[in-house]
Amino acid sequence: MADIVVKTEDVVKEYRMGSNVLRALDGINIEIERGEYISLMGPSGSGKSTLFNMIGALDTPTEGKVYIDGQNMSQLSQRQIAAFRCHRVGYIFQSYNLLHVRSAHGNVTLPMIFAGIPEKRRNEKAEELLDMVGLGDRMYHLPDELSGGQRQRVAIARALANDPSIVLADEPTANLDTVIGREIIDLIKSLNEEQGVTIISATHDLKMLDVSDRIVDIRDGLVERVRNREEIEIEVGEVGGH
């Protein structure tokens, strides 16, 4: 039996804007297996980022349920949700969301401070992680002193600080040029392959197609179709052949 790490049941999200109600998600049902690399694809406004937020416990659905590791997220206490965000998932955002008052090293240690890891251990771990993403020589620079690609590397190191089993990446390459974007994708893919981290990425970057195990196409708040790796390879091959 497949090990389902994320499951959504009829997830609906509505935003109230004055007297209008915007239905961003209209009943989403997906299952994600442990160790998978999943890309949520769709045009902007399709609801993929909203779904991303629901899966990451960054927002609560209006209706429906989200299960992670078999736990119904709506039944967790505030403290459990904080612990979930701290230990179980790592987030990577389009705009990096680094704390600009903390150095690269300071950003990576912060989730470990929240987890109560002793200072010596967390400093070592931050150094290891920053070394791994190739920023060993810029550890004590502030985010403003780093390039976009370097900032995203810090964000990746930070996402891995507490050894999460899931990494959520929301448009991680959207603000980067093709070459740097490719490097970031390769880095994320290597986490998936070498460490078995489940990757859930919202994207419309076609470069992410050929590294994904499955692609969930989201349109108008619904799952339009789910494609798996074999179908994707054919499509990419065709595009490449022309």
Partner 1 sequence: MQQRTPIEEQIDLPFMESLRISFQSLKIRFGRSVITTAGITLGIAFLVSVWTSNEIGIALQESGRQSTINTFEETTEAGISTKDIWLIVMSLIVCVVGIANSMLMAVTERFREIGTMKCLGALDGFVVRLFLLESGFQGFSGALIGALIGTLGAVLLGLKDYGLDLFFYFPLLPAQPEDGPMQLGVIVVILLGCFLGMVLAVIGSSFPAWRAAKLPPAEAMRTEV
Binding mask 92-131 toward partner 1 (x if CB under 8 A, else -) reads -x---xxx-xx---x---xx-xxxx---------------
Task: Write phi, then psi, for 224 (nearest 5 degrees).
Answer: -80, -50
- Answer for the pair 218, 41: CB distance below 8 angstroms, yes or no: yes
The first and second tokens of residue 35, run together, are 């160790």
Q: Which is nearer to partner 1, 13 or 214 (CB)?
A: 13
Residue 80 exposure: Cα atoms within 13 Å on the Cβ side = 8
* Separation between Cα atoms, residue 150 and residue 134, nearest integer Å: 9
Q: How far is the CB of 216 from partner 1 (least distance, A)?
A: 19
Q: How far is the CB of 59 from partner 1 (least distance, A)?
A: 4
Q: Which is nearer to partner 1, 170 or 205 (CB)?
A: 170
Q: Which H/E stretch holds residue 122?
A: helix 119-132
Binding mask 8-47 toward partner 1 (x if CB under 8 A, else -) reads --------------------------x-------------
For partner 1, the binding residue among 16, 79, 120, 242 (CB under 8 A) is: 79
Q: Residue 158 interacts with partner 1 (CB under 8 A)?
A: yes
* Separation between Cα atoms, residue 110 and residue 125, nearest integer Å: 12
State which of positions 163-222 bind partner 1 (CB under 8 A): none
For partner 1, the binding residue among 41, 51, 66, 86 (CB under 8 A) is: 86
- Answer for the pair 219, 213: CB distance below 8 angstroms, yes or no: no
Mark the segment that binds partner 1 (CB under 8 A) among 55-63, 125-133, 205-213, 232-240: 55-63
Residue 237 DSSP symbol: H
* Separation between Cα atoms, residue 33 and residue 213, nearest integer Å: 10
Task: Write phi, then psi, for 218 (nearest 5 degrees).
Answer: -110, 130
Q: Residue 78 interacts with partner 1 (CB under 8 A)?
A: yes
Q: How far is the CB of 151 from partner 1 (least distance, A)?
A: 13
* Separation between Cα atoms, residue 205 and residue 192, nearest integer Å: 18
Residues that bind partner 1 (CB under 8 A): 1, 3, 34, 53, 56, 58-60, 69-71, 76-80, 82-88, 91, 93, 97-99, 101-102, 106, 110-111, 113-116, 142, 158, 162
